[in-house]
């Protein structure tokens, strides 16, 4: 699965995107964030505040309970500050 990161999440993880094979028990957005946090200190720093993390699945905002099955691109980023 392709993961893309933006803004402070991108800077803290240290890369804009990566291809990852998810374990079978990572089924939802919430599962994914929890699993990513275990991948290293840079991920833990980027994702330490769950309320400050947003996720989009294939360009659509998603809640923690959203399923990952069939998704091609997951984006992880902080709350938006455009406009």
Partner 1 sequence: MAAALRIAVQAGPFDMAREAAAARAGRSDVGAVVTFTGVCRDEGRTLAALELEHYPGMAEAELTRIAEEAAARWSITAATIIHRFGRIAPGEDIVLVVTASPHRAAALEAASFLMDYLKTRAPFWKKEHPHSGEGGWVAAKGSDDEAAEKWK
Residue 52 or 67 with smaller CB distance to partner 1? 52
Stretch that binds partner 1, among 28-36, 40-48, 63-71, 74-82 (CB under 8 A): 74-82
Q: Give the range of 27-35, 40-48, 51-59, 63-71 binding partner 1 by CB under 8 A.
A: 51-59
Let me know: does 27 contact 67? Beta carbons within 8 Å. Answer: yes
Bridge-based pairing of strands 2-5 and 60-62 is unpaired
What lies within 8 Å, CB to CB, of 45 at 6+ separation is: 12
Does residue 8 bind partner 1 (CB under 8 A)?
Answer: yes
Q: How far is the CB of 68 from partner 1 (least distance, A)?
A: 17
Among 19, 69, 70, 81, binds partner 1 (CB under 8 A): 81
């Amino acid at each position: 699965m392709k993961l893309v990161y933006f803004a402070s999440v991108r800077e803290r993880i240290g890369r804009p995107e990566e291809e990852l094979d998810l374990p079978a028990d990572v089924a939802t957005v919430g599962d994914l964030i929890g699993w990513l946090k275990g991948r290293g200190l840079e991920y833990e720093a980027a994702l330490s505040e769950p309320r400050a993390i947003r996720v989009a699945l294939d360009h659509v905002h998603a809640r923690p309970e959203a399923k990952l099955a069939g998704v091609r691109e997951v984006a992880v980023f902080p709350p938006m500050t455009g406009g």
